[in-house]
Amino acid sequence: MPMSALLSALRGAGRQHLTASTVAARQAITGSHVLRLHDYNKVLRKKVPNGHFFESAPFGAGGHTWKVVCYPNGADREYDGYTSLFLKSLRPHDDPFIFDATTARLQASVLDREGKPWRTQTAEHRSFLGYESWGWKDFVKNDDLDLVDDCLTVLCDVTVDDLPLHAEEVVTAAATPPPEPTASALPPHDIWSNKPTDDMVTIHVGGKSFPARRFLLEAHSPLLKEALQNATTGQLHIAGLDAEVFRAMLQFMNNHGPASNKQIKVEPTIADRLLVAAGEYGMEKLKLACGEALRARVDMGSVAAMLTLAERHGCPVLKDACIEFLSRDGNLGSFAATDGFQRLMKDCPSAAEEIADIAVKQYSHVTWQPSRRIESSSCARGRFPEAIWSNKPTDDMVTIHVGGKSFPASRFLLEAHSPLLKEALQNATTGELHIAGLDAEVFKAMLQFMNNHGPACNEKIKVEPTIADRLLVAAGEYGLEKLKLACGEALRARVDMGSVAAMLTLAKRHGCPVLKEACIEFLSRDGNLGSFASTDGFQRLMKDCPSAAEEIADIAVKHYA
């Protein structure tokens, strides 16, 4: 019997005040996101080294917020030559606004020129909690990609089996249900007030209930819109959110239309929690206002927590305030000596790049001397961040032993530049690290590069030609892609008939396209290929690096087609 017929029968039996509820299993919900990467082979793969990634914009699916994470040259060295792809949940497990863990099924497809799946990978029933991610390190081999206009297009489907927001149906029996009102039919005072109407819903948060206008919630928050559309009633329960924070969110939604330019006032005492919630619920204007409210609270005691908050929840206003504070004279050095700095490096490693860039901009002329303190022509006052650039031992300083010599260095600079050194330092139980099989002169050059060139620095890198070949090998081994590129540039001028075999082998083995192109260019000149084929170097190349045969064959075909 339909619910309406049942209620009519019960009402006819004399029950005048009658309510009903229905409990039913909800179907899994699938959300899809298209990630398109332009100039994939020509630009992105060349500029983004192995172990580094791009992230998509956040998107909602099944009541959760997600990002697609793409590693153009593989997630680690074992998968160099592959595109690695992952789906990441955007709820940190140490966050007070976390929902329960969710289970999702994943499917990712590379789309062809007609928008149809060409290569598809699936993962069944993966559990996500916090910033956990699932995906495929071997999503697709880069050599197999046949891209249209050098554009990689990936379709990701996320099917969520359990939603963090749930609804309970509470239906008031009525003879004829009233038509659903529209925003245009309602007078202004009825739109913005909490006066009960047929458009009203009740949100239960933190043990309290809040009446609210459904269309206002949907207009402001994609996450609430999805939850309300999945609900069959006017009751919505939200887990893991503070009632005080939700009240502030509701006040914002009531007083600020999506197109409103009115100043948003945020209570400073809840601005940090409100920022997190605003980010989770897709309320970007409120998140921006929270960032503005927090700017004045950035100081030496709070900057670590503020920068972590800004990085995790994507708040550029607050991040800029932290960077501005650390860029002031003396602040960076003082901060590096605090416990907050250590917590920041542990809880939010991505912040290391920001700090390294600040240090490089302030102390761009620093040179490293192994036998004495660091000196800088740009620091005439003699004031520079001791904990970062000097040899004075601090909690951040480590000692690297290479080739019989010892090098003091800033831990965060090493970790910011090199994935391999980062892993080694994280596994080390002391501040001492011994590196075997590396020349001291080469490591000294690596350290000088790390001291003088932040991850985002575009300043030209100078490489000593006499060690450029050995430095290229070490740079490739330690993931210093910018340094490896500079070594390749330094070696270009040394490519000749006597060295081209060794140079091409070096370029092929250690993935240096700049040097490889220089060798191909040299062999493509009239007469050079024939002369080279008669040398011992050619025979050694075929023996030591058989894959170079393809390059030689291509040159021959072009010349003797």
Q: 246, 210 in Cβ contact below 8 A?
A: yes
Q: 71, 83 in Cβ contact below 8 A?
A: yes
Q: 369, 375 in Cβ contact below 8 A?
A: yes
Q: 503, 518 in Cβ contact below 8 A?
A: yes
Per-residue pLDDT, 361: 60
State if pTM tops 0.85: no
Sorted by where each starts, the structural domains of the chain and their CATH numbers stand as 29-162 (2.60.210.10), 460-561 (no CATH)
DSSP 196-242: --TTEEEEEETTEEEEEEHHHHHHH-HHHHHHHHH-SSSEEEE-S--
The per-residue pLDDT string of the chain (561 residues; one tens digit each, 9 = 90 and over) reads: 566 667 667 766 777 566 665 555 455 677 888 888 888 888 788 888 888 888 888 887 776 778 898 999 998 888 899 999 988 877 544 443 333 456 778 899 999 888 889 999 988 766 554 446 778 899 999 999 988 888 999 999 888 765 444 444 433 333 334 444 443 333 344 444 444 455 788 999 988 999 988 888 888 899 998 888 887 778 888 888 888 999 999 999 888 765 666 778 888 788 899 999 999 999 988 999 999 999 888 988 888 889 988 888 889 899 999 988 888 877 887 887 777 887 787 777 777 667 766 766 654 433 333 332 222 333 322 233 333 433 333 456 889 999 999 998 888 788 888 888 988 888 888 888 999 889 899 999 999 888 877 655 566 788 888 899 999 999 999 988 889 999 999 998 899 999 988 999 898 888 898 999 999 889 888 888 888 888 888 888 888 787 777 777 777 766 655
SS3 475: helix
**Rounded to an integer, what distance in angstroms lies between the CA atom of residue 552 and that of residue 529?**
8
User: Residues with Cβ < 8 Å from 489, sequence gap 6 or more?
Assistant: 463, 514
HEC sequence for 23-73: CCCCCCEEEEEEEEECCHHHHHHHHCCCCCCEECCCEEECCEEEEEEEECC
Q: Hey, how many other C-beta atoms are within 10 angstroms of the C-beta on 546?
A: 10
Per-residue pLDDT, 4: 60
Q: Which segments of 335-416 are extended strands (E)?
A: 366-367, 375-376, 397-402, 405-410
Q: 74, 51 in Cβ contact below 8 A?
A: yes
Going 96 to 97 to 103 to 105, the CA torsion angle's sign is negative
SS3 177: coil
What is the token pair recorded at 75?
A: 């997630």
Report the candidate in 431, 307, 327 with the shortest Cα–Cα distance to residue 385: 327
Q: 444, 463 in Cβ contact below 8 A?
A: no
Say how many residues make up the chain: 561
